[in-house]
Amino acid sequence: MAESRKTNFYIPFILLLIGGFLIFLLWSAFQATGLGSRVTDTDYYSKGLKYNTSQVEKRAAEVLGWHLATRLQGHTLEFHLTNSTGGVVDHASGSLYLALPDTAENIHLPLNEISAGLYRVMINATIHGPIQARLEMERNGARLNRQLLLNL
């Protein structure tokens, strides 16, 4: 009677899995010591899916040479928008977003153009203390974004 010998395939299979894991571990360590992330803009993740659009708008505003002067008097905030030659930038649409410390949502305040290149917004008198704000100005596809810290 011939005795049949069972081949145990579990041991080579486990050794193969361990070997594959070690190869993958070495490869990932090599990749981690390489060049790293090729993201060079630190604001990339803050823009989300609109990153390319916002960069095009920002470059358009830079090419136009927009300059923004800000003045706060009491609860009235004024912005004077000029181009690279000192001429006023009129008919721009603008918004101010206030991030209040104890609220989950931002307050949206549209800017009113009171004269050519001069934009004004009135902030509610009940808002006080240091407030983070974001200003957006847009005209003909060029957009200017600024972060502000208001001390009301």
Structure confidence at residue 151 (pLDDT): 85
Q: Which of 103, 111, 110 is nearest to 131 (CA)?
A: 103
- How far is CA 139 from its chain centroid? 20
pTM of the full structure? 0.59
Write down the residue that tokens 């008198």 correspond to: 125
pLDDT, tens digit, 9 for 90 and up, residues 35-51: 665 555 555 555 565 65
The whole-angstrom separation of Cα 89 and Cα 133 is 22
What tokens were used for 40?
């060079």
**Segments in the chain below pLDDT 50:** none
**Which domains are seen in the chain, by residue range?**
49-151 (2.60.40.1940)
Structural contact between residues 148 and 132, judged by C-beta atoms closer than 8 angstroms: yes
